[in-house]
Structure 1
Amino acid sequence: MTGLFQSQTFPATLPDHTQLPESDGTFVKNFQEHPQSVLLTDSIEPILKQIHPDDQYCIGQDSGIYWRLTQPLERGVLAPDWFYVPFVPPTLKGQLRRSYVLWQEYVAPLIVLEFVSGNGAAERDRTPGTGKFWVYEQGIRVPFYGIYEVAKAAVEVYHLIENSYHRLEANDRGHYFIPQLGAELGIWQGHYSNTELPWLRWWDAQGNLLLTGAERAEIELQRANTETNRANTETNRANAEAQRAEKLAAQLRALGIEPEE
């Protein structure tokens, strides 16, 4: 892996996620970033459960990826807004992950997503050794890298081919297909977390929006209410028929005719 260790003296035993700083002291850039990460995770998890019935995967949300050993340690870490790593345990030795350490796990994330809050220069920085674009492409070698700009209602996705990123073309739905997930990434204009925005979301391979747990629950509630209303309508209709039949029987009896005859 390119530049994993710099030419410095380090202890014989390399630090793990419990010994490395879990924060570089920076703040989340805006209030939209947290619900955006939750939206991505919540909606893709049913797909990940199908891919990983053994639960061997992890998702990072504004969590550090230590990709090279440096002094100070914080110079060798990037904290993507969202990333997914397949075929690794969600915890290590019974402990929650504080960061993702490449020299401890060796498996690179399949996809990394950055949410632009400025002009996008940092997310497209190709400066060797420090620029985010360069690190994801040449340092960590992430197969898919997405840059999401809520202000432009746009996302661009890059695919690592022969050691360099190539920008993908959107399909006829305006989405980007990630084959290993069997899912598409794109922009959805809608209301989520009490805010109307062009959100970054997942669709399945047929173009069906992948719903959050709350959205699925709302649909189930609407379906249950519809069934209840239908059952109530049928009950009311049956009661009306019974009342009509009883009224007719009473009229026949008044004429001296038994209804059974």
Structure 2
Amino acid sequence: MIQSSKSIDLPPPFPDHTQLPESDGTFVKNFQEHPQSIILTDSLGPVLERLYPDGQYAIGQDCGIYWRETDPPEKGAEAPDWFFVPGVPPTLDGQIRRSYVLWREYRTPLIALEFASGDGEEERDKTPLSATNLRENIRPGKFWVYEQIMRIPFYGIYEIRNERLEVYHFVDGGYQLLESNERGHYPIFPLEIELGLWRGNYQNLSQTWLRWWDNQGNLLLTGRERAILEKERAEQAELALVQERLLREQQEQRLQAMAERLRELGIEPDSI
């Protein structure tokens, strides 16, 4: 049998997170985005430690999720303001993730959140990826990509200016708008938590924030909030001990005064 000496030209392998841009060069839209991401990640820590003791999960904050190869590469990515992916290592081959590449991971995020500075039009964009749109260089919309390509189970849109939150759940091939529960929260069932709005001060900003609650309606606290709570509990416990000691001393003083009074009357207290 005569073997051909011609080599077969294989296409280059799909790039990984080290070969793709980690930013599309756009600015963060407002001063709330970073602290909003931090408060979500920080307060979720204890829940994730319980549900994923092996540490197999990743959290992205304004990071790209690559879903197709394009030129330039960043056109094939969406960058949710916050997203969570279960069942994947936090680093790849000892390297910090620069982006999340679907064709390398094969696991879609469980939840993606967008913090809309405007009216949410961009975050609700359902423009599909079609031949016509490709010819006219029209980029597919975020909503369509999350729903039809990535199929992220939970998608939340928070309009910061209007303090309005919408949460969608992927069911039967598409997103369905969830109704809030009696607490005004949206259950994220796989994590046993709820997502809702909370008015308060965080990192010197007093406004309405996206926050997590457990499925009993208890607010999930940040590390600083937990530290403050533990300090208050310790101070209350110390105060209770002081009050108990003072009460015991007062009782002893009253008993001593009664004993002295009995002796003045010629009665020995121990004989009673």
Secondary structure of the residue aligned to 1:70 is: coil
2:236 counterpart (226, 242, 246): 226
Q: What's the CA shift for 1:193?
A: 2.1
Query: Residue 202 in 1 paired to residue 212 in 2?
Result: yes
Q: Is the 8 A contact 2:118 2:161 kept in 1?
A: no
Task: State the TM-score, normalized to the length of structure 2.
Answer: 0.87
| Structure 1 residue runs without a partner (length 5+) | 1-9
What is the letter of the counterpart of residue 237 of structure 2?
E
Query: Residue 123 in 1 paired to residue 123 in 2?
Result: yes
Q: What's the CA shift for 1:116?
A: 0.4
- 1:102-117 alignment runs, 5 A limit: 102-117=102-117
Alpha-carbon distance change, 255 to 37 in structure 1, aligned in 2, over 3 angstroms: same
Q: Equivalent residue for 1:41?
A: 41
Q: What's the CA shift for 1:255?
A: 5.3
Q: What's the CA shift for 1:253?
A: 4.5
Q: Equivalent residue for 1:138?
A: 148
Q: Equivalent residue for 1:93?
A: 93
Secondary structure of the residue aligned to 2:40 is: helix
Q: Equivalent residue for 1:238?
A: 248
Q: What's the CA shift for 1:246?
A: 3.0
Q: Equivalent residue for 1:155?
A: 165
Q: Deviations over 1:89-129 (max 9, x none)?
A: 00111111111111110100011000001221111111123
CA distance in 2 between counterparts of 1:180 and 1:14 reads 31
Q: Is the 8 A contact 2:194 2:212 kept in 1?
A: yes
Q: What's the CA shift for 1:254?
A: 4.9
Q: Equivalent residue for 1:62?
A: 62
CA distance in 1 between counterparts of 2:244 and 2:31 reads 49
- The higher radius of gyration belongs to 2
CA distance in 2 between counterparts of 1:156 and 1:204 reads 19
Give the % identical residues.
60
1:190 counterpart (194, 197, 200): 200
**Matched residue count:** 252
1:213 counterpart (223, 226, 229): 223
208-217 vs 111-120, greater mean Cα deviation: 208-217
Q: Equivalent residue for 1:165?
A: 175
| Structure 2 residue runs without a partner (length 5+) | 1-9, 130-139
Q: What's the CA shift for 1:135?
A: 1.1
What is the letter of the counterpart of residue 97 of structure 2?
R
CA distance in 1 between counterparts of 2:184 and 2:253 reads 58
Give the superposed CA RMSD.
1.7
Q: Equivalent residue for 2:14?
A: 14
Task: State the TM-score, normalized to the length of structure 1.
Answer: 0.90
CA distance in 2 between counterparts of 1:118 and 1:149 reads 7
Q: Equivalent residue for 2:4?
A: none
Q: Equivalent residue for 2:31?
A: 31
